[in-house]
Amino acid sequence: MDGKGLIRACEKSDCGWKCCSFGSDGHIVILPYEFNGHEQEISHLRIIDNDYFGGKKVKCIAKDCKSCDNGYKPIMCRTYPLWVKSVKKGFVFRSGKCPLKNEQLTKHKEFVLGIFDNYRKALLSQTDVDAFLSKAWIDRYEPLFPTHRGSIECKMEVKSLSMFDMTEIETMEQALLSNPEICFASEPQDIAKCLQSGCSYGLWLDGSFVAYSLAYFTEYGTAYVDKCFVSSDYRGNGFQYILLNANIARLVSNGVQEIFAMTSPKNDASIKSFTNAGFSPKRATKYKGVERVILKWEL
């Protein structure tokens, strides 16, 4: 964890060091136990939330942000513009404020995953960090989608869905959703509402549409994941987790504070994906006479 996270491409980006421009509402997220051993080096960091899911939120008040006034440089600053949501899954987010292109961040991604992995290994309780990453949210960050996933060696593309994708979704549901005990087919009006929200995503592998997640939000800061479906041949590769995080990122950018979802209590894989994405089971219910579990994600 000694590296400073300097990126060679930054020298020619002419961005004016946006990474050190937090603005009046900006803050830095500190991991659990991150300040341990650095207590004498954080005079340039003012704590504004001392218990953020086990970590902290701080404001940088350094006179020279680039050098941190020669004090401790937080992991979030060293790894900018990337942030890890899951070390084990290698799932990374990137800041939309940074002008660098994804291909310019390839080596930096390896460095960032190494930083977080070494940090986890250095702690006696890795679960504290994993739980923190699943819940902590960095505003205006979007998923940095991988091109390979698990055992599938092919090009992956994750894109925002629109009304042009409705026919393909309906066709997939009619062909593949035959067991309401596990998953109901969506009503056409519900699909349309989610597509019109701009918060729904699809996943393609080598040009084939294999998974999608439908979500929408209300003016009250509440949102709903209506459906997150992966074709049976492609399950077990974390695609549902990727799509859910894409939903969450877009919903949060629209001011959402809480997100609800519903799944079958018999669908262990779906419950695990929602839980890994930061959702918590809240209560049992019935939908169309079939047992369901309501889950909730909170900012």
10-residue averages of pLDDT along the chain (299 residues):
68 75 77 92 94 92 86 93 84 85 86 91 77 81 62 70 94 78 82 95 90 95 94 85 90 92 90 89 89 91
- Look-up: residue for tokens 């680039």? 66
CA distances from 12 to 122, 196, 227 (A): 35, 39, 43
State how far Cα 151 lies from the chain centre: 22
d(CA 8, CA 149): 27
- pTM for the full predicted model: 0.69
**Within 13 Å of residue 141, how many CA atoms lie on the same side as its CB?**
23
**Residue 38 neighbours by CB distance under 10 Å:** 13
Amino acid found at 272? K
Amino acid found at 161? L
**Do 85 and 6 touch, CB atoms closer than 8 A?**
no
pLDDT at 4: 67
pLDDT at 232: 83
Q: Quote helix, strand, coil % in the chain, to nearest 5.
A: 35, 30, 35
3-state SS assignment for residue 285: strand
Amino acid found at 144? L
For the chain, which residues make up each domain, given as ranges? Answer: 8-144, 156-298
pLDDT at 8: 81
d(CA 253, CA 266): 32
- Superfamily of chain region 156-298: Gcn5-related N-acetyltransferase (GNAT) (3.40.630.30)
The dihedral sign for the CA sequence 124, 128, 131, 133: negative
